[in-house]
Amino acid sequence: MSASCRVKFVQVDTTSWESQFAAFKMTLAWSSSRLDIVVPSAGVSGMLGKEFFTSASPTDDPPKPPTLTLDVNLTGVYYSALLAVHYLNHARVADDTFKPQLCFISSLAGYGEMPFSADYCATKWGVRGIWRGLRGVRGVNSLGGIQANLIAPTFLRTAMIASFVEHLEQAGTKVGEVGDAVEGVLRAVADDEVDGEFAEVLLCSFFMKCSHADVVCD
């Protein structure tokens, strides 16, 4: 690795504004106040499985639902996006030609439905809402040329689905690889012409491999 290639990891609580703010400040201090790309991608699986609705007897009071999925997947991404817009807009080099990039990670669960995953689906639809409220020439692009795109992966081979990936494959569902989503993010943040678009990682085929004219629009 050359001396110019450096990586820094900062531990952060995505559910905390103060923790994320501190992480952004640490990053800017390390990078000499330069910020080019932010990918809000915090995510945990849903907590409202079928057992949540069936474990209590009819005479029991309903249990308080968990909110971790909402706190991480939606509130955390919301915080990241707002901090990103601020610093991508202000932490710029005067003669820099690279457009600042904001790339959200949603899911096909933000476009369809997953039974007994109300909290997870709600967060992924919510990420789409944040993105749609910011994207485009009438959104953050008017603030220093920030481009905002969204990637919506289907099932990817990660620890999150390890317990049921075999069931998915036996049912004929193709499972993607992490690299499929990574390739999509790289395309979104490296192409000046891709702004306000979304792409699906669906059945191991990534739509962003097509030309810009073929990118699926939301």
Per-residue DSSP letter, 156: B
Q: Does residue 120 carry a catalytic annotation?
A: yes
Sign of the Cα torsion 150, 185, 207, 179 reads negative
Query: Residue holding tokens 């690279």?
Result: 98
* CA nearest to 187, candidates 204, 199, 174, 178: 199
Alpha helices in the chain (DSSP H): 17-30, 50-54, 68-70, 77-90, 118-134, 165-170, 178-190
Given the residues 25, 64, 99, 120, the one annotated as active site: 120
CB-based contacts of 160, cutoff 8 Å, min separation 6: 43, 44, 45
Contact 149, 103 (CB under 8 A): yes
Q: Does residue 124 carry a catalytic annotation?
A: yes
Given the residues 8, 124, 174, 209, the one annotated as active site: 124
Contact 123, 79 (CB under 8 A): no
CB-based contacts of 164, cutoff 8 Å, min separation 6: none
Contact 91, 33 (CB under 8 A): yes
Structure tokens at 138: 């009438």
Q: What CA–CA distance (Å, rounded) separates 197 from 187?
A: 11
Active-site positions read 120, 124
